[in-house]
Structure 1
Amino acid sequence: MANDAFANATVISQGQLPYSTSLSATGTAEPGEPAHAGSPAMASRWLSWTAAQTQPCRFEEFFNSGTARLAVYTGNTLATLTPVAQGLGSIAFLANANTTYHLVVDSPGSDFIRLNPFPPGGADDLSYAEPISGPLPLQVTGNNIVATAAKDDEDWLPSYPPIATVWWSWISDFNGTIRMDARRSNVTARLTLYEKTPAGSLVRVAIGVDIAVLEVTKTTEYLICVDSTEGTGKIEFVLQPVPPDPPSNDDVAKARDLGSGSVICDGEWIHHATAEAGVVNETPGMFGLPGDRTLWWKWTCPASGTYRISQLGSDRASTIFLYTGSPLAGILAATSDLPEGTLLNATSGTKYWIQIRTIAPHAVRTEINIHPATHEPAYFQTLVGRGYFALEGPDRHPAADPDGDGFPNEIEIACGSSPELPDAQNPRLPNLLPHLSGWKLQWQRDENYLTGGSGLPILLRGETST
């Protein structure tokens, strides 16, 4: 059968990456075949792939991860194979440009496998930190698939010592505040930022998990170290300038009016917000200690019912306070310090005052979402779960079209395309195209998808549209 013998390996083309497929349970061993992952060959299936560029890759199996033996080799014949990586369930290796790799799965059952190259970026060694530059916001991609931890990598996060650190260097061209947002990574990112002194030594100036905030000085060089708390994977972060002044809705008298819509999305930079003396649940700083940072909104309920007011998408969960009547002497209607917010039994025509308060240093930006909870949509949770964090404020609304491709966020997320960028810039996702009075999905080629969370595979095959 195809792919049972080394000579009949399934060839993976560059255009098929990331590649995933199912393998039947009909593999056998052949004479001269090497042992895989420490055990003699028994039921092997072969694939081959020639790397177009140097980049880390992960080769993994999903049905029999506890017993499936995986291996990657170079060489032209069974007798001349040189092992590159071997293991059970999942292995990582550094693929070199123009090199052909032979991949083998050895297990007695059916398998579902994936070969996933990761975008190059980030240096494993501080001495070779990869320089990054360009106007802010600056998006950076990389990975720590084959990275290691050095003995002098700082261990500041309890229970999560450094495991696979990668480094970038950046020189600031302004004085001010930046936010580093790594929530698009497919790992939980452990961030450590250093300032390089004129003498060449490094001083740690910021830390964070997924989010870090840093005061920067023009012409100063900063070293960025990214690790993951568990496992390794793709790393993606954005360096974004934080507006230097308090927002327009910093004071209760200037609360932002959200109108009377049943679905509302808004947001604001809370990092430079302040507290007002004499205002409920606000304590100004004193004796050199920081005070609360608060922002205000007001919303008029369009129809009586239960609504959810949430902070999904915010940097860090802050505390939401909801009031009726005068915000200075009104009635506290609800409060929550959870990202999913709180449920509010709202009355038609009633104006509600919304106060968001934080003292967390990593709470740089806050988002606010309002929607009916009677048939509560999964949209907002899905929006966060898929990592669309560039969508801020009104751009997060289900009916918004921030990428300008004619399709609202709600449809794009439901169909798997990206609401952040025009579909032409997302070759790994299906395109949404107008069709008669509605729309259709179009794949440029066959696509393979894996579900998140459980990791169980779902194979979707879409034919090229004519």
Structure 2
Amino acid sequence: MAGGAALPNDNLADALLITGGQGSQAGTTLGSRLEPGEPLHAGAVSGGSVWYKWGAFSGGSLTLQATGTRYTARVAVYRQTDSRLDYTHLAPVASGLNGAATVALQPGSAYLIAITCPVQTSGPFTLAWKHTPPAGGGVDLAILPGSVHASVVTKNFDRTECEVVNGCATAGTNRLIQVDFEVANRGAEDIYMGNPTRSPWAVTLPCVVEFHFRGLHRYVLRDARNAIVAMAEPVEHCFEDNRRENPNAIASPRYNCADQGLSAGWIYSLPSSLPCHFLNVSDVPSGSYTLEVIVDPWNYIDETDESNNSAKIPIVIEPECTGPPPNDNRAAATVVTGAIATVGGNSECATIEAGEKAHSHGVSFMPPGRSIWYQWIAPYTGDVTVDTEGSNYDTALEVQTASPDGSVNGPYLTFNDDVSPGVHFSRIAFPAVVGTPYWFVVDGYNVGAGSEGGRVQLNLNAAGNDSVTNAQVLVGLEGTTSGTTLHAARGESEPMLEGNPGGHLVWFRWTAPASGPVQFDTEPSAFKTLLGVFGGSGDSQAPLVPVVADVTHSLAGAARAGFAASSGQSYLIALDGRDGAAGVYALAWHQVPDVVVEVRLTARRDAEGRVRLEVTGKPGQAFSIERSSDLKSWAPVGTATVVEGAAVYVDGIPAAAGQGFYRAVGN
């Protein structure tokens, strides 16, 4: 229809996106026009048209109803057949001269909806839509509880790196919140996106000629007043089946990078190592914030349950460091002790020493930049594994031995950058010799813009105590140890702790140096823990026997187990994560030995001829006083309780009664 200003959705390329399983949208055809090449909608000549777009990511049907206020609106529905949106890539699927149409949906498709008016008529209308899933179908995206992890990291980017080219970071130093989380499809039907090279929903990025899906998740950072201070919607690298959640789901993954989607009962994992999967907080002040992760924030996907699409966690942005860390130099290396350990650190403000050489032997483009140091003296001869899993940036790890001249560049033993392609923590293995000192140096990946830096987690023989036979030995009345349960498992024959299935069980062996109460405590572990105490050795000759222990939990989920220990007795302490949780644990123990007090009974007559008896013992200990005339027959004569070191009892037997004998029997 001629005349008037063009409407915002007058052209196909400007189709207005409508979302959700059910809704309505007011519109108008007043001022609408027909484009060159526009098809004959619903088989009838039109005076003009406006366009809408709706996405189908699961099956079923879509019912549409357009109702005009002054005319009978018409509806025509087309399926987009290619990533290009033009009239040559539209396939007609349904239409109605009475404004109603029903479409049998093809998952992964975009449907273009034309609302038209007869010639010389136009005006307002209301478009209503309703998606009906197939019988027994429906999809449900759910963020897995406890799967959201975030940390602040400092990264340097060169101007040619994709993060800079794609606009999510600037060249130079950036402070970022990196986020990991997992989302499951708990519906009965697959979510299907399709081949990204042909999908109407895919986008391309400037850095590389690749197709990605955008709008499937969002990161929102809010301050204490709930005001939004940062937000990002990273593209999906590959929306695919990563691991199975429901044991009744299909056994093998169905979707991958070439054909994307999420099978019913499967989990999609988003690691923070993916490009641009972060919030840039370079301009955000330090302080306490709330990070919210939202899946399907635009409601593109019609779900059976929309209430489980978000998760919130607290996060603290620490003030930027102002000086190097304590273990910035080799001579001040943090000492690591024991055969199994996990220690932390931070390299954001780390520096390099004068003359320090690259720690990436054979990788010439990685000069040193933010190195921090650890020293370990091997307590045994044998294989050792060291890794940086749990660090929040791309690390490089080297092992050195003692430097003959005391310089920063000790003899090189081994090096690793990435444990595998795309997995950016480091892992090394080497044969250790008992009593030999080794230095572990952690640096950041460096392509010339400067090394990355952030929180360091150094794991020594991670989960090396994941069986009873390899239980870590604990010594002394008190002590602490730490490690990670991430790669531990609970075997079929291993016990459930506190009636919970757990899933990442590690073991410790402690021999009581004295008798007395002892307490084991997992505060401050990074996850909710379970504890169990057992006797025996765990083999067929001496199976595990539960020891009665008082197990409690803090509000944060730390477990405490207290029990009465006997001197010289060995105990097995088992540690697991509640409901499959895993991560870095801390374990402390403290024993209060029983006080050994010599019990001694003395007797004397007082001035009145009575027998005064004194018994030494523990404070509060009660004794029964017994008397005999022949050391054969004993009769109780009274009781006494130790107060201020002794219990006193006075027997009024007269001196004329002759010889008598006394004894004190502890209660």
User: What TM-score bracket applies, with the shorter chain setting the length?
Assistant: 0.3 to 0.5
TM-score, normalization by structure 1: 0.43
Q: Which has the larger radius of gyration?
A: 2
TM-score, normalization by structure 2: 0.31
Relative contact order: is structure 1 or structure 2 higher (C-alpha 8 Å, sep ≥ 6)? 1
